Structure 1
Amino acid sequence: MLKLKYLFQHHDLAEMILKNWNYDPESLDMFQYYRISSNAVYPFRDQGEVRLLRFAPVEEKNQVNLSAELAFLRYLRTNHYGAMEAVPSQSETEIVEAHTPWGTYYASVFKRVPGSQLGSLDLNDSILYSYSQALGELHHLSRAFIPEQEEKRRWTYTDVLNWMQEILKGFPTETAALNEVKFLQTYFATLPMTQQNFGLIHYDFELDNVFYDEESQSCYAIDFDDSMYHWYAMDVERSLDSLREEIEPEQWEQKRELFLNGYWSKAGERYDLESMFPACRRFANLYGYVRVLRSASEQWLHEPEWMSGLRARLARIMKEKAEQFGHPI
């Protein structure tokens, strides 16, 4: 999540950055459908085709991670996996470092994937099975993925834990969160790490980041911005957690089994990944907490009403997450 000071619509900034790509000038009215979370995303058209401009301040992103994300996307698409496709800029680069009056930004443009977000659909068994197979296929391909340059690998779960530790050093009262980091560092160090169970994951393979195309009856994944090297169980647990919110309690066990069967049909030989779920939940809970803590740390006089409302919602989220610290695995 970006810092709160970046969570506002900025039409002029988006248009200035977009000039690094080709676009239909009359399509800029689509900017009204922007969204901002970990990045600012503005839709537009190029020769009538929908494209998505994604950008964030350089101080909020790691360029190595961005390059590694795009390399993984190229690998997936080469292997006929349904993933978003980057569009080269006019200078033939997939990442532009844009210098603007409002600061310097990393920006990329992506083609819109076909279909509809899973979160907007009635998740019948066929769609649910396709969703789970898409995750299984992603992990199957990840096992064979070799980065183009070793020094430009995506960051690992240990890098993320170290990042959280550094952030928390700036918040002396956050002892419970810091203890949670130390616990997870110790706990994950005891887990077996093999080519079968560990690799580059999506991390956010939730319903809003996967599209289902009725015509091809297949899924397309977007938003690999949070991907990292982790146990594959992390993706499975997060996907199930996202799914559970959409399923009636009396149907949950059947849908969960269906999802796991679909996943293993593509992921390969079964192993015990479910025993890792509790630790994965704690990792995701802590990571979300620290990101919100960092995002909301700065405060200003006379904040707009939307920001005050957002702060209140974030405070509730952080309280709920903090209640999970220290729970036994």
Structure 2
Amino acid sequence: MLKLKYLFHNHDLAEMILKQWDYDAESLDMFQHYRISSNAVYPFRFQDEVRLLRFAPVDEKDKSNIEAELAFLHELHRHQYGALEAVPAHTGEELVQVHTPWGAYYASVFKRVPGISLARVDLDETIVHGYGQALGELHIVSRQYVPEHTGRWTYAEVLDWMQGVLEQFSDELEALNEVNAVRTMLASWPVTKQNFGLIHYDFELDNIFYDQANHAFYAIDFDDAMVHWYAMDVQQSLDSLQEEIEPEHWERMKQSFMQGYWSVSEETVDMETMFPACRRFANLYGYVRILRSAAQQWAHEPEWMCGLRERLEKALVEKAKLFGQPLS
């Protein structure tokens, strides 16, 4: 999540950055449908094709991570995997650094994928099976993938980043202890080609699009990808799915997802025992990102920011409840 000061809608900034690409000028009214979280994302059209401008301040992102993300998207497309496709700017580059009156930004443009988000689909066993299969196919590509240049950061580097952030807050000793506990637990896990590699990390329902006509799935938002155990992706996906499923149907739907996941692999790995620690990693990572994002405060904040800050404070309290509990 970006720092709160970067969450303001800025039409002029978005238009200034977009000029690095071709676009239909009359489509800029689509900017009103922007969203800002870990990046600012503004929709537009070029030759009647919907595209998405994504940008973030350079001090909020690691350039090598973005380059590694774009490289992995190329690998996915090479394997005919449904995912976002980047569009080169006028310079021929897919990642552009733009200097503006509001500072320097990293920016990319992507073609919109077909279908609609699974978060808006009436889920049944067939779709959930396909959802699991889509994650399994992603991991199959990842197992074969060897980056030519720099790769995405690892879970250990993410933990290092968390520790660095928390050390700036004198009263976050419990969270720092949680970093150490999670680090110790994960360091004890075996690392093999089958169970460890580049994951999406955010393979949740709202980031997977479903094309009903072709029963095809498309993944978006690889911004949080990291090198981790594949169980992390499975756990995050199952937790996202469970939020949308009635309790009496959950075990059946969970089984459908896992059957889909393993249907594309010749061997299975016992992931269930890894899920609790994966949840603790995700909980801690979310806590640290919120803490960093909301650290700065200003007098007379707009109403929407005050409401957001209240929600973030509640989330911090909930996430902190897990700190110090036994890890197994």
The TM-score normalised by the length of structure 1 is: 0.99
Q: Which residue of 1 aligns with 2:125?
A: 125
- The superposition leaves residues 239-295 of structure 1 with CA deviations (integer Å, 9 ceiling, x where unpaired) of 000000000001111111111111001144111111110000000000000000000
Q: Which residue of 2 aligns with 1:116?
A: 116
Which of 249, 255, 258 is 2:256 aligned to?
258
Segment of structure 1 superposing worse, 122-131 or 238-247: 122-131
- The superposition leaves residues 49-81 of structure 1 with CA deviations (integer Å, 9 ceiling, x where unpaired) of 000000000000000000000000000001000
Equivalent residues in 2 for 1:73-152 (5 A)?
Answer: 73-149=73-149, 152=150
Cα drift, residue 131 of structure 1: 0.6
Q: Is the 8 A contact 1:41 1:52 kept in 2?
A: yes
Between the aligned partners of 2:316 and 2:267, the Cα distance in structure 1 is: 38
Q: Structure 1 residue 316 and structure 2 residue 314: aligned?
A: yes
SS in structure 2 opposite 1:290?
A: helix
Q: Is the 8 A contact 1:212 1:219 kept in 2?
A: yes
Q: Structure 1 residue 243 and structure 2 residue 241: aligned?
A: yes
Q: Which residue of 1 aligns with 2:4?
A: 4
Between the aligned partners of 2:153 and 2:131, the Cα distance in structure 1 is: 26
Which of 222, 225, 234 is 2:223 aligned to?
225
SS in structure 2 opposite 1:266?
A: coil
Q: Structure 1 residue 279 and structure 2 residue 299: aligned?
A: no
SS in structure 1 opposite 2:314?
A: helix
SS in structure 2 opposite 1:143?
A: helix
Equivalent residues in 2 for 1:26-45 (5 A)?
Answer: 26-45=26-45
Q: Which residue of 1 aligns with 2:58?
A: 58
Return structure 1 stretches of 4+ with deviation > 6 angstroms: none
Between the aligned partners of 1:287 and 1:118, the Cα distance in structure 2 is: 24
Between the aligned partners of 1:12 and 1:325, the Cα distance in structure 2 is: 43
User: How many percent of aligned residue pairs carry the same amino acid?
Assistant: 65
The TM-score normalised by the length of structure 2 is: 0.99
SS in structure 2 opposite 1:233?
A: helix
Cα drift, residue 7 of structure 1: 0.5
Q: Is the 8 A contact 1:22 1:46 kept in 2?
A: yes
SS in structure 2 opposite 1:171?
A: coil
Cα drift, residue 148 of structure 1: 1.3
Q: Which residue of 2 aligns with 1:297?
A: 295
Between the aligned partners of 2:232 and 2:266, the Cα distance in structure 1 is: 17
Q: Which runs of 5+ in 1 are unaligned?
A: none
Q: Is the 8 A contact 1:140 1:268 kept in 2?
A: no
Closer/same/farther in 2, CA of residues 172 and 268 from structure 1, 3 Å limit: farther
- The superposition leaves residues 197-252 of structure 1 with CA deviations (integer Å, 9 ceiling, x where unpaired) of 00000000000000000121010000000000000000000000000000000111
Between the aligned partners of 1:268 and 1:39, the Cα distance in structure 2 is: 37
Q: Is the 8 A contact 1:205 1:238 kept in 2?
A: yes
Which of 180, 183, 188 is 1:182 aligned to?
180
AA aligned to 1:278 is P
Q: Which residue of 2 aligns with 1:216?
A: 214
RMSD over equivalenced CA pairs, Å:
0.6
- The superposition leaves residues 145-192 of structure 1 with CA deviations (integer Å, 9 ceiling, x where unpaired) of 01011xx11100000000000000001101111000001111111000
Q: Which runs of 5+ in 2 are unaligned?
A: none
Between the two proteins, the alignment pairs up a number of residues equal to: 327
